[in-house]
Amino acid sequence: MKGQAENEGEGAKGVGIEELKKKMADFAKERDWDQFHTPRNLLLALVGEVGELSEIFQWKGEVPRGLPDWEEKEKLHLGEELSDVLLYLVRLSDICGIDLGKAALRKLELNAIKYPVSLCKGSSKKLTHLSKSTTTTSSSENGVTDDGE
Ligand SMILES: Nc1ccn([C@H]2C[C@H](O)[C@@H](COP(=O)(O)OP(=O)(O)OP(=O)(O)O)O2)c(=O)n1
């Protein structure tokens, strides 16, 4: 999504998933686009936007946090592509009947169990590469699937 938006610069502190979900639902309804917002179509649109997001970073090498050397217009573009990904993700979840906020909170809890601070602090290694001898419970006991990245 490019160009000037009506509420640009207004700030949107505290915007939540429910609000985005409703706005996307209204956006689709007004245009009679519900017929196109099927799970598969939305997933493909989401992946396409992830591609557009990747293009922004392509060939730049690693960039410092906060992107201090980027021009404002580049950051604006980045915000647009991040938003496209978020909006399609929110819409896909809605259409699939998944409460994304609830699912994300549950996943955070699972992540914390899978990667206990005592085992992982200072290490970015995957679960499969961490010494299991120091864990007291297995991932399957925790309800965490080992195929998850
Ligand atoms: N059938 C559609 C088409 C668009 N959108 C919304 C969700 C995204 O936020 C944005 C995507 O629009 P574009 O497909 O035009 O993609 P871009 O904005 O990235 O434009 P471009 O691909 O030309 O860079 O619009 C939508 O909900 N449903």
Tens digits of pLDDT across the chain (149 residues): 444 565 555 567 799 999 999 999 999 999 999 999 999 999 999 999 999 999 999 999 999 999 999 999 999 999 999 999 999 999 999 999 999 999 999 999 999 999 999 999 998 887 777 655 454 444 444 444 444 44
CA-closest residue to ligand 1 atom 25: 1
82 CB under 6 A from ligand 1? Answer: no
Centre of ligand 1 to C-alpha 128, Å, is 38
The Cβ of residue 17 has, within 10 Å, a number of other Cβ atoms equal to 17
CA-closest residue to ligand 1 atom 13: 1
pLDDT of 86 reads 98
ipTM: 0.98
Measure the CA angle with vertex 20, ends 16 and 25; round to 5°.
150
pLDDT of 125 reads 80
Closest CA to 47 of 12, 85, 14: 85
CA-closest residue to ligand 1 atom 12: 1
Report the atom number in ligand 1 closest to the C-alpha of 87: 9
Q: Show the DSSP H helices in 5-149 as ranges.
A: 17-30, 39-57, 72-95, 100-114, 117-120
Using the Cα atoms of residue 122, residue 125, residue 129 and residue 132 in order, give the sign of their dihedral.
Answer: positive
Report the atom number in ligand 1 closest to the C-alpha of 36: 1
> Do residues 112 and 143 touch, judged by C-beta distance below 8 A?
no
Report d(CA 38, CA 95) in Å as an integer: 7
pLDDT of 8 reads 56
